[in-house]
Structure 1
Amino acid sequence: MTKRTYEKDAVFIEQADDLEDLVKDKRLNWRSSPSKAIRRQRRYKKRLINELLRYDDYKGF
C-alpha cells in the first residue's frame, strides 16, 4: 500500500513533474468511481501547491 500524501511532503518537490510522482491515492481501488479519485488527486495537488507557496514566502524567495 502506498503511503499517504501530506503537506509536509512539499519540500520534496523541485520540479512540476515531481508533484505528479508525489501525489498517490492510497485508496485508489476503494473509490466508487474514477471521477472521485481524480477529484481527490486534484485536491491533494492543490494542497501541496499552497504549501509550496507558503514555504516560499517563509524562505523569502
Structure 2
Amino acid sequence: MPQRTSPKDASRIHRAEDLEDVVVDKRAQWRANGAKARRRQRRYKKKVITSLVQDIYENEAFD
C-alpha cells in the first residue's frame, strides 16, 4: 500500500503533469463514495501546491 501524500513530496514535482502521479490517497478504496475520494484528492493536491509555492518564495531573493 503506498504512503499518503505529504508536503515533502512536492520536491518530486518538476512539471504540472507530475502532480497527478505524486498525489496518492492510500485509502481511496475505503472512502464511502467517489465524491469523498475526489474531495480528499483535492485536499492532498492543495497541500502539495501550497508547499511548492512556499518553497518558491523562500528560495527567491526578493528586493
Q: Give the structure-2-normalised TM-score.
A: 0.91
Where does structure 1 differ by over 6 angstroms across 4 or more consecutive aligned residues?
none
Q: Deviation per CA, 1:5-59: give whole Å up to 9, x if none.
A: 1001101110001100001110011000000000000000011111000000011
- Specify the alignment match of 1:33 in structure 2: 33
Question: What is the aligned length?
Answer: 61
**Which structure shows the bigger proportion of residues in helix conformation?**
1
The one-letter code of the counterpart of 1:11 is S
Q: Which runs of 5+ in 1 are unaligned?
A: none
Percent identical across equivalent pairs? 49
Structure of greater Rg: 2
Q: Give the structure-1-normalised TM-score.
A: 0.94
DSSP 3-state at the match of 1:16: coil
Please give the alpha-carbon distance, in whole angstroms, between the structure 2 residues aligned to 1:46 and 1:4: 14
Q: Which runs of 5+ in 2 are unaligned?
A: none
The one-letter code of the counterpart of 1:53 is V
Report the alpha carbon displacement of residue 2 of structure 1 after superposing the two structures with TM.
Answer: 1.2
Tell me the C-alpha RMSD between the 2 structures.
1.0
- Specify the alignment match of 1:47 in structure 2: 47
